[in-house]
Amino acid sequence: MTCADGLNTAGRALVRPPGPRLTEAIVTHAARRPVDAALAGRQHAAYVAALRSAGWRVGAVAPADDLPDAVFIEDALIVCGDLAILGRSGAAGRRDEVAGAEQAARELGLRIERIKEPGTLDGGDVLDVGDTVYVGRGARTNEEGICQLAHLLGGRKVVPVDISGCLHLKSAMTALPDGGLIGVPEMVDTSVLPCLRVVREPEGAHVVVLGPDHVLMSASAPRTAAQLAADGLRVTSVDIGEFEALDGCVTCLSVLVP
């Protein structure tokens, strides 16, 4: 996860290629189906190409071939300015993923902090919007993790958001370049949100901001993409179907560091 996601297209995008055990990745909410690892590799390459085309310098995090979910690099690392916070997943089997993320953050010269026991926090639950940081409270991120994050962010306004029926907050809600929230209201506690634009299909809730008027979305959300394009945004769509079969989305596959 990145604070002020993608507003500077001269930044760096951290990605980690899918490993040989990808098909064993955790599935919590999607209907489990066979995953084509070769196709996933091609989809990931196309995703990386889209980032590069938008002006982002792509850096690869060291492979973690023994960790099936490691491709979802966003969960391991939260970047705010020159601070990198290492997550501590509520899924114990994913906690070893942070080692490679820490190495990549150090190579960028970022300061390192970490979420400590008994706190849990996945970067996919952290959404930075203007002067507010929304944090999903659910199976992967607990109250203690949210409190530690708030302390490390040093006075930023942090708003916990209860989630249901989804893996992470950013599975249900993201933000557009103007800071407006977009998502699925049935999956989030809307009482703590200023407003929420309802998407045309659930996959439309997943938006990566690549620039001031440019967003990256899944090809699984054509109606939402058309709506945003009609509003004047440049929309790049990529097919990430094999990752969506593993509860993944476009935000999960990168950490943008302005």
Domains plus CATH for the chain? 12-257 (3.75.10.10)
Backbone angles phi, psi at 125, to 5 degrees: -95, 0
Task: Note the pTM of the prediction, 2 decimals.
Answer: 0.95
Length reported for the chain: 258
CA distances from 237 to 14, 183, 195, 197, 211 (A): 19, 17, 25, 19, 15
Q: Which of 3, 80, 166, 252 is catalytic?
A: 252
Average pLDDT over the chain reads 95
Q: Which of 168, 195, 206, 214 is catalytic?
A: 168
Asked if pLDDT for residue 188 goes beyond 80, the answer is yes
* Confidence (pLDDT) at 1: 64
Asked if pLDDT for residue 7 goes beyond 80, the answer is no
pLDDT band of 155, cuts 50, 70, 90? confident
pLDDT band of 258, cuts 50, 70, 90? confident
Residue 44 known to be catalytic: no
Asked if pLDDT for residue 5 goes beyond 60, the answer is no
Structure-block tokens of residue 134: 């929304």
Taking the CA atoms of the chain, what radius of gyration do you get in angstroms? Answer: 16
